[in-house]
């Protein structure tokens, strides 16, 4: 199955059995029992269910803490502030955070996660092609961007002059509206084949003698399952990290990505996004040598607010049918911390909380104001050439929020981007903060993504294995095929 971690986790760990309550749950006739319990209805959980349901041999339960796809609505209207709902419908619910994302399937092994460390690149390419075909069967558009190398090479050469690496990749753009439709189709298909419970949060994993036995929900229900798949998504990464610690599972620290979302006139990047759509530029800052990358390019899109762990962060969406005059994308600085630091999620949350503290939510600042050492005001934003698509961001000063090395690295990256997209480094360019990508500490997993606990699997972004729709989907397929191989 390719290179990477050993084919099987440790047979036994030197730790006692871990029970959820004061005593182990009774296993009488009234206890609910399933063959497979899937925690999380994001792409990893959905694709695991699709693969298992196709065989029709297992009794499957999907537990999702957020709402069903049809009930996922943000209650905010116009410029009202975030209501801080217990489960933010933008980032949790059927389809996961991807339901309202830009909906891009990045058909490459070069970025989007670490699945190739477990399966090998050749196998991951096969899995990506398979998952892409499933998306198409459920309604994905046929057009693919980023395949014409004759058009891409001149952009790569120009980028190289500014020490930028452009990593081309085939992209199937679903669009936020189309992504929603596809996920609804998947929900309708699975609803006849598996049991789905939304508004149901899993509190704990039930374990005995290093073997998973089921889950306990926040409501106190204890459900038995021979196999448990944890696919909590990014919004569930903190919960997953806590459970891993409680269960004594070995982990490795993933990077934490912190930065800003850039918004500028769409024509500045049209010559790139019309060819590639998702422009993946990689830069290493001159001063700190930190890795900076563009992420989630949203041509003619809009900037949106997300509620992560009660903190307001920023993201971007593009729609298949609705266009704006602006393009937005993230600039993220990646940092992997070393011992003794073990809390990358807490670090990212702390920085995001500073923006919330100063601005009451997301802060927006003109690049020219940032370079001049002054905060932006409503009047200065209004005088600028870029009309913000996020109307309720608070004009402010991001230099009071971002760490110095992050700020320097971002400013250097904007200068480099100006070479390949003149106007990117304009004083009118808008910067929104904070954008942060939280990845859970990654468990020690087998090639089939099984943890040190027998029959307990981890997949998707919240498990620290992937960071994108297509690889998360492929990870769900990996786990499902292993369960099918083992049988009931």
- Indicate which CATH number applies to the domain containing 218: 3.50.50.60
- Asked whether residue 90 is assigned to any structural domain, the reply reads yes
How confident is the model at residue 79, as a pLDDT?
54
- Residue 480 has phi, psi (to 5 degrees) of -60, -40
Q: How many CB atoms lie within 10 A of CB 126?
A: 14
Do 267 and 223 lie in one domain? The reply is no
Q: How far is CA 136 from CA 115, 142, 172, 251, 311, in A?
A: 22, 7, 10, 35, 35
pLDDT at 9 over 70: no
Rounded to an integer, the average pLDDT of 351-360 is 93
Rg (CA), the chain: 22
| Of 391 and 255, the one with more pLDDT | 391
pLDDT in tens, 320-349: 678 999 999 999 998 877 767 667 778 888
Do 208 and 312 lie in one domain? The reply is no
- Asked whether residue 18 is assigned to any structural domain, the reply reads no
Do 277 and 196 lie in one domain? The reply is no
Structural contact between residues 72 and 56, judged by C-beta atoms closer than 8 angstroms: no
- Asked whether residue 150 is assigned to any structural domain, the reply reads no
Do 377 and 462 lie in one domain? The reply is no
Rounded to an integer, the average pLDDT of 296-318 is 88
- Asked whether residue 4 is assigned to any structural domain, the reply reads no
pLDDT in tens, 102-115: 688 999 998 888 89
Rounded to an integer, the average pLDDT of 468-478 is 95
Do 360 and 238 lie in one domain? The reply is no
- Asked whether residue 148 is assigned to any structural domain, the reply reads no
Do 429 and 449 lie in one domain? The reply is no
Rounded to an integer, the average pLDDT of 468-476 is 95
Place of tokens 């699997």: 457
How confident is the model at residue 348, as a pLDDT?
83
How confident is the model at residue 135, as a pLDDT?
97
How confident is the model at residue 461, as a pLDDT?
86
How confident is the model at residue 7, as a pLDDT?
41
How confident is the model at residue 18, as a pLDDT?
47
252 - beta bridge partners?
442
Which domain, by its residues, includes 74?
32-141+175-251+442-486
How confident is the model at residue 30, as a pLDDT?
60
pLDDT in tens, 234-281: 778 888 988 999 999 988 777 788 999 999 999 999 999 999 988 899
Do 189 and 322 lie in one domain? The reply is no
Do 433 and 447 lie in one domain? The reply is no
- Asked whether residue 26 is assigned to any structural domain, the reply reads no
Rounded to an integer, the average pLDDT of 346-373 is 94
Structural contact between residues 394 and 363, judged by C-beta atoms closer than 8 angstroms: yes
Do 353 and 420 lie in one domain? The reply is yes
pLDDT in tens, 27-75: 444 679 999 999 999 999 999 999 999 999 999 999 999 998 887 877 7
Do 387 and 473 lie in one domain? The reply is no
Rounded to an integer, the average pLDDT of 118-143 is 96
- Asked whether residue 461 is assigned to any structural domain, the reply reads yes
For residue 476, give the nearest of 238, 135, 65 by alpha carbon.
Answer: 135
- Residue 61 has phi, psi (to 5 degrees) of -125, 130
Q: How far is CA 151 from CA 166, 277, 331, 347, 421, in A?
A: 13, 12, 24, 40, 15
For residue 36, give the nearest of 202, 203, 212, 199 by alpha carbon.
Answer: 212
Q: Which one of 437, 453, 478 terminates a domain?
A: 437
Rounded to an integer, the average pLDDT of 156-177 is 91
Share the mean pLDDT of the chain: 88
How confident is the model at residue 467, as a pLDDT?
83
How confident is the model at residue 33, as a pLDDT?
96
Q: Could you tell me whether strands 394-395 and 363-366 are parallel, antiparallel, or unpaired per DSSP bridges? A: parallel
How confident is the model at residue 401, as a pLDDT?
96
Between 55-59, 220-224, 336-340, 473-477, the lowest mean confidence (pLDDT) is in 336-340
330 - beta bridge partners?
261, 295
How confident is the model at residue 321, as a pLDDT?
72
Domain total in the chain: 2
pLDDT at 83 over 70: no
Residues 397/402/403/407 CA torsion (nearest 10 deg): -80
Percent of all residues in the chain with a pLDDT value above 70, rounded to a whole number: 89
What pTM, to 2 d.p., does this model score? 0.82
pLDDT at 182 over 60: yes
How confident is the model at residue 20, as a pLDDT?
43
- Residue 382 has phi, psi (to 5 degrees) of -65, -30
Do 184 and 204 lie in one domain? The reply is yes
- Asked whether residue 240 is assigned to any structural domain, the reply reads yes
Q: Which secondary structure element, helix H or strand E, spans residue 37, and what is its range? A: strand 32-39
Confidence of residue 88 (pLDDT cuts 50, 70, 90): confident
Q: Where are the beta strands (DSSP E) in 121-198?
A: 165-166, 171-173, 195-197
Confidence of residue 22 (pLDDT cuts 50, 70, 90): very low
How confident is the model at residue 10, as a pLDDT?
42
Measured N-to-C along each axis, helices 237-246 and 344-359 cross at an angle, to the nearest 10 degrees, of 140
Three-state SS annotation for 404-429: HHHHHHHHHHHHHHHHHCCCCCCCCC
Do 237 and 111 lie in one domain? The reply is yes
Q: How many CB atoms lie within 10 A of CB 26?
A: 9
How confident is the model at residue 162, as a pLDDT?
97
């Amino acid at each position: 199955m390719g290179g990477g971690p050993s084919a099987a986790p440790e047979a036994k760990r030197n730790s006692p059995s871990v029970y959820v309550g004061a005593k182990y749950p009774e296993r009488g006739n009234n206890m609910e029992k399933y063959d497979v319990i899937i925690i999380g209805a994001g792409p990893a959980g959905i694709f695991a269910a699709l693969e298992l349901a196709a065989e029709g041999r297992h009794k499957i339960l999907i537990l999702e803490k957020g709402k069903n796809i049809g009930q996922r609505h943000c209650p905010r209207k116009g410029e009202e502030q975030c209501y801080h709902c217990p489960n933010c419908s933008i980032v949790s619910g059927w389809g996961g955070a991807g339901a309202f994302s830009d909906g891009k399937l990045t058909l490459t092994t070069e970025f989007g996660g670490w699945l190739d460390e477990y399966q090998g690149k050749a196998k991951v390419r096969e899995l990506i092609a398979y998952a892409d075909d499933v998306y198409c069967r459920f309604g994905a558009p046929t057009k693919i961007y980023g395949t014409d190398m004759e058009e891409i090479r001149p952009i790569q050469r120009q980028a190289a002059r500014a020490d930028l690496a452009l990593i081309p990749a085939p992209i199937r753009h679903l669009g936020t509206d189309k992504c929603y439709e596809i996920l609804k189709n998947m929900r309708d298909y699975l609803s006849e084949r598996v049991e789905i419970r939304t508004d149901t949060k899993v509190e704990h994993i039930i374990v005995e003698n290093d073997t998973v036995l089921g889950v306990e929900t926040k409501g106190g229900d204890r459900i038995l399952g021979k196999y448990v798949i944890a696919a909590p998504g990014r919004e569930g990464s903190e919960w997953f990290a806590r459970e891993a610690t409680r269960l004594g599972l070995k982990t490795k620290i993933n990077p934490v990505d912190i930065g800003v979302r850039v918004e500028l006139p769409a024509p500045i990047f049209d010559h790139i996004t019309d060819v590639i759509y998702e422009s993946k530029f990689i830069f290493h800052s001159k001063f700190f040598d930190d890795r900076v990358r563009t992420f989630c390019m949203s041509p003619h899109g809009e900037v949106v607010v997300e509620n992560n762990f009660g903190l307001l962060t920023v993201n971007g969406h593009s729609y298949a049918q609705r266009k704006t005059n602006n393009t937005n994308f993230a600039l993220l600085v990646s940092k992997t911390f070393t011992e003794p630091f073990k809390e990358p999620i807490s670090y990212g949350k702390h920085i995001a909380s500073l923006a919330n503290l100063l601005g009451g939510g997301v802060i927006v600042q003109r690049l020219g104001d940032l370079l001049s050492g002054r905060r932006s005001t409503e009047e200065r934003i209004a005088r600028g050439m870029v009309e913000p698509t996020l109307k309720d961001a608070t004009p402010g000063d991001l230099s009071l929020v971002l760490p110095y090395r992050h700020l320097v690295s971002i400013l250097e990256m904007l200068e480099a981007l100006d070479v390949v997209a003149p106007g990117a480094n304009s004083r009118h360019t808008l910067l929104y903060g904070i954008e942060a990508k939280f990845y859970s500490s990654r468990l020690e997993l087998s090639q089939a993504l099984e943890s040190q606990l027998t029959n307990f699997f981890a997949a998707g972004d919240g498990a620290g294995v992937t960071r994108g729709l297509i690889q998360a989907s492929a990870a769900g397929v990996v786990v499902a095929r292993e369960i099918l191989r083992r049988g009931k």
